[in-house]
Structure 1
Amino acid sequence: MPTDPATVPSTDAVLRWPVEPAQGGWYTRAEREAVRAVLAESDDWHVGWKPAGYVGAFEDAFAGFTGSRFAVAFNSGGTALEMLLHYLQLDPGDEVISCAVNFVGPLIAIIGQGGKPILAEPEPDTLNLDPTDVERVISRRTRAILVTHWNGAVADIRPFLDLADRHPNPVHGAPLIIVDAARACGGRTPTGARVGAEGWATMFSFESKKLMTTFGQGGMVTTDDQALAEQLRWLRTYGGTEHWGTNQMMTKAQAAVGLVQLARLDEMNDARIARAHQRTRGLADTHELTMPPVIDDRRHLYYRHNLLVPEAWAGEGRDELMNTLAAEYGLGSIINDRPPYLFHRLIRAHTAGQRCPRAEQLTARLLCPCLHPRMSVAEEDEITDAVRGATAQIARTRSTS
């Protein structure tokens, strides 16, 4: 079977469970009623689709939910992060540190805004950015540290704040802590604060697969920095009358749906956590597999349920397991995420000479079988049976080879 570098198989046509859910949460009658109300109102040519009232209400609700002073909505999480970095006005050689285990988006944003991405290793258990390795690579050119709450496992922001204070940039002062919470909306940090309340600024994504979605795209930035919030509002609306800007507004319909999704976010996350914990319990006796760390419910939202195969299976054995799950059990899986320099030409060029062996070793053992909060208990039992059965097959094959 042909194997895509990140998913098995590359098409969902033969699968009972896809490589990943096409939508992370779900919609109810409340979302549909909100859309109908917006359609009815906006059909009046006197009213139209100007988004200000709805977007403002969504921003206020989101700021209140996260405990931040300001929330600024965008048409996507990617553009939100780009504008955060644009605000820094990065000079050539200015460095932004990010984890080597990451989606391509953050690194592309750093490159696109003129910065130099500096890669650091992940922690071995959560695969979040390792503050110890950040201290190894931090320098006098560091402008920001980009901390990703990887796959829903909420990172502790405090060590990065302490690091930044100990290693000031000679021109700009302490490097800024930017948080990528695209996969962790609704989580809590070790201090008990909601994700979005700590660090200089936090980016959220409402893309279709995320924990909540606003018609498949959308994003938000939370911050306590009033100057940043004000400039982000200019940047997304052509700069007003004095500044550079572009059009990155969230639509009225997106905001209306976002208000409903936000009110239901804890419900959807609770269901996701319950399914993930069921899977972890169901696989507890599968000694070949390392489960995701079980931390406080609100600190791990299980955007993905990550499994690690034994070191001896890294690469080839992991691929055999993914292929067996797909071909014999109809269960798709994905590798979220390999170090982007391994497969992305532009990122490889901009990180030349940087390698993160721990990241490569861990992600060679990584697979994430499909998980969704609306899977039934019985369906989840079938999936855990499939993972146990396929793992046993690979173990037998490898023991006799």
Structure 2
Amino acid sequence: MPTNPATVPRTAANLRWPVEPAQGGWYTEDEHEAVRRVLAESDDWRTGWRPASYTGTFEDAFAAYTAAAHAVTFNSGGTALEMVLHHLRLTPGDEVISCAINFVGPHLAVIGQGGSLILAEPDPLTLNLDPVDTERVLTTRTRAILITHWNGAAADLRPFLTLAERHPHPVHGPPRIIVDAARCCGGRTPSGQVVGAEGWATVFSFESKKLMTTFGQGGMVTTDDQALADRLRTLRTYGGRDRWGVNQMMTKAQAAVGLVQLTRLDGMNAARIDRAHRRTQRLTHVAELALPPTWHDRQHLYYRHNLLVPASWAGDGRDQLMNVLAERYGVGSIVSDPVTYLGHRLIRRHTNDQRCPRAEHLASRLLCPCLHPRMVPGDEAAICDAIQQATEHIARTHGTTE
């Protein structure tokens, strides 16, 4: 098994800018006022903290925003995805396809719900799941295709929807298209639809680092499937009266804040996109670095600003660049994300001998220096200068030959 790729520079104690922002968006007086209002009304013992009135309003607003028929709140995106998979009633041998470059959460959810995780390669440009390689691993045992809008780059779901129709499961019909939109809330897919309107189920996270957050945790599922929406509502509330379930409800205060964050989401995303495009423009002349694709109309939200070093720098050269950024310039960076089976033992054991060489190669070239839309211009200029100078330093050691 290859060594676990570094995700944090060796020297992190003196970072001027962290490896990643602790909060993806930001709060205003409107969020604070929403919390004060909830606190005041919930202090009455007759009212308390029952969340239904607020979560229902948040769900309706989110469904309208995404143009989905239903939206269901959860206490986290991770539990939301678990319950979507639980609804499929996966049995031994049922397969779920997902991209090898990913956060570990989706892959652990598949394993935890009894599915066989099948890994496929990323697209070389977007690092989203590659539909061509997906078809290579698709079988009559495939129950679902789990597509991540990776680091804010919205995937085109249309090829996967076509694949599902062409390769139905012999018992359950076309594999379900499940979308992980944790890093793409408010984006638009290449078909022009708001993320959350396509596919069988789309899962959102409102964890602290995400594009909008509800007190650091929270999640949502959008779907047009009435049966799925109804089942999710019972799963999060102890299963109703006759089925299994647990308590996975969002709180009243989270929903109140979520309502405000949702009204500000497009503005926060626009600021992030503008900052990312400016960074790309400043780094265009750094020949050694492959920059993220520049798309418009909210197709790329730049949850991370991904950089790829030359192939000849893969692994050691990339790690040296991260450490030079940290040690000399105080710039934190992260590998977001390594190939999951290289960094997580359970996923490695579960996937046995599955290997995705393209994913391994791309991940070994990947780094994401800290980016946040509220960085002041001076900080952003210093970070871009540091990236350029650190890259020049590594180029003198490793060269630039691909």
Question: Normalising TM by the smaller chain, what interval?
Answer: over 0.9
What residue in structure 2 maps to residue 270 of structure 1? Answer: 270
Range that drifts further, 285-294 or 236-245: 236-245
Q: Which runs of 5+ in 2 are unaligned?
A: none
What residue in structure 2 maps to residue 349 of structure 1? Answer: 349
CA contact (8 A) 1:8 1:326 kept: no
What residue in structure 2 maps to residue 236 of structure 1? Answer: 236
CA contact (8 A) 1:6 1:336 kept: no
What residue in structure 2 maps to residue 325 of structure 1? Answer: 325
Give the drift of 1:4. Answer: 8.8
Give the drift of 1:10. Answer: 5.8
1:368 counterpart SS class: strand
Deviations 1:93-123 (A, max 9, x none): 0000000000000010000000000000000
Give the drift of 1:9. Answer: 2.9
What residue in structure 1 maps to residue 153 of structure 2? Answer: 153
CA contact (8 A) 2:237 2:249 kept: yes
What residue in structure 2 maps to residue 394 of structure 1? Answer: 394
Structural mapping, 1:363-374, within 5 Å: 363-374=363-374
Backbone CA RMSD of aligned residues: 1.3
1:298 counterpart = 2:303: no
CA contact (8 A) 2:11 2:323 kept: no
Deviations 1:35-75 (A, max 9, x none): 00001111111110000000000000000000000000000
CA contact (8 A) 1:77 1:204 kept: yes
Structural mapping, 1:53-202, within 5 Å: 53-202=53-202
Give the drift of 1:280. Answer: 0.3
The residue type equivalent to 1:318 in the other structure is R
Give the drift of 1:244. Answer: 1.0
What residue in structure 1 maps to residue 381 of structure 2? Answer: 381
1:22 counterpart = 2:22: yes
What residue in structure 2 maps to residue 51 of structure 1? Answer: 51
CA contact (8 A) 1:279 1:384 kept: yes
Give the drift of 1:398. Answer: 2.3
Deviations 1:5-43 (A, max 9, x none): 443336753111000000000000000000000011111
CA contact (8 A) 2:12 2:326 kept: no
1:146 counterpart SS class: strand
User: Separation in 2 of the partners of 1:286 and 1:39?
Assistant: 51
User: Separation in 1 of the partners of 2:103 and 2:359?
Assistant: 13
**Aligned-pair identity (%):** 73
Give the drift of 1:131. Answer: 0.2
User: Separation in 1 of the partners of 2:312 and 2:295?
Assistant: 27
Q: TM-score, normalised by structure 2?
A: 0.97
1:147 counterpart SS class: strand
User: Separation in 1 of the partners of 2:286 and 2:73?
Assistant: 43
Give the drift of 1:129. Answer: 0.1
Query: Structure 1's 199 and 45: CA in aligned 2 closer, same or farther, altered over 3 A?
Result: same
Query: Structure 1's 192 and 353: CA in aligned 2 closer, same or farther, altered over 3 A?
Result: same
What residue in structure 2 maps to residue 310 of structure 1? Answer: 310
The residue type equivalent to 1:232 in the other structure is L
CA contact (8 A) 2:4 2:343 kept: no
What residue in structure 1 maps to residue 247 of structure 2? Answer: 247
Aligned length: 398
Query: Structure 1's 391 and 297: CA in aligned 2 closer, same or farther, altered over 3 A?
Result: farther
What residue in structure 2 maps to residue 216 of structure 1? Answer: 216
CA contact (8 A) 2:6 2:319 kept: no
